[in-house]
Amino acid sequence: MILGLIEHDRGMLNEMSLEMLTFGRDLANRLNLPLEAVLIGEGANALAEGLQAYGVSKVHLVQHPRLDDYAPEAWAQSVVELIESEKPQAVMASGTDRGNEVLAYVGARTNLPMAANCTEVEPGDPYTVTRVRWGGSLLEEAHLTGEPKLLTVAPFMIPVEEGEAAGELVLNTVTPALDDKDFRVRVVERVKSTGDTVSLTDARVVVGGGRGVGSSEGFESLDELAALLEGAVGCSRAVTNQGWRPHADQIGQTGARIAPDLYIACGISGAIQHTVGCKGAKQILVINADPEAPILSKAGYAVIGDLHEVVPVLNAEIKKLKNQ
């Protein structure tokens, strides 16, 4: 059997799981094996019925009084127990932060290798997988050993397709043996992002700031520019490392992928790990003090100069145009 871990947030399905099920169903069909799914936490029970339309014949409902929110080690332990009782040939999850995190813990607890962000799989022993590396700039062919095979499916690569499983959907309720050490990492507080500003991934204009901005206060003029253009502010990892902006604002390989009409990159050098996150932008305007900055090779327009001088002038001009 092929087992897919369904990702949800307190009962809200992450649509990436449907991509993973589409990928898993294709593998299961080729191996003539059933596709089964695991839903962790009582709040997700209602999702079970809908999974049959994606080829799932059996859903394992993991229930435990402490599984009321995401806790990666507890989720991993739940999967480990299913591996022991159900003996799947492969276990897969979405290649999201949570999917990769849970399967990495499963790998650590079972001493099995895990292949992250796969786009193709050729079963056998070992499996041959193609996986995305370096934020999409490289596709790697790798061999995946172990029993079961642990892999995650690269997001946005597999078009979701329905394919109903035959027969009645079987539900199997299980209660894992979890203890305090499984809850060392857990959600302790949820903080709603403030304001009614447009989100980074939906914004038509994104103003990005890098190390060149110099401080969290330095972002004031970038915030103003984004507000004037009804856009959002993003940043490089150098900025989140400094604690100038939250990680939610980070653009790049380990941050958000953006595809705005215009990306204004201020004081950002253009490391590959950053540019993979903004390569979907239709147009890039660079503001940088260094005429040799690598990001200039991606720019349609550039202003060479100090962003602390250029951005306020830009803001003043836009205000004039808007009669503000």
Which residues of this chain interact with ligand FAD, rule CB under 6 A? 210-212, 236-239, 250-255, 267-269, 271, 273-274, 277, 287-290, 293, 306-308
Q: Least distance from C-beta 200 to ligand FAD, angstroms? A: 12
Q: How far is CA 163 from CA 23, 24, 151, 174, 212, in A?
A: 11, 11, 21, 26, 51
Distance in Å, CB of 233 to ligand FAD, minimum: 13
d(CA 29, CA 42): 29
CB 241 within 8 A of CB 266: no
- Closer CB to ligand FAD, residue 98 or residue 237? 237
Residues linked to residue 3 through DSSP beta bridges, in sequence order: 36, 91
* Structure tokens given for 186: 């857990």
CB of 120 to ligand FAD, least distance (A): 23
Q: Which is nearer to ligand FAD, 125 or 290 (CB)?
A: 290
User: Residues with Cβ < 8 Å from 129, sequence gap 6 or more?
Assistant: 115, 118, 120, 121, 122, 141, 142, 143, 144, 151
Q: How far is the CB of 311 from ligand FAD (least distance, A)?
A: 9
Nearest CB to ligand FAD, comparing residues 1 and 304: 304
Nearer of residues 99 and 252 to ligand FAD, judged by Cβ? 252
- Taking the least distance from each CB to ligand FAD, the nearer of 31 and 271 is 271
Closest CA to 262 of 221, 308, 229: 229
Tell the smallest beta-carbon distance from residue 163 to ligand FAD (Å).
35
Which SS3 state, helix, strand or coil, does residue 9 take? strand
3-state secondary structure of 27: helix
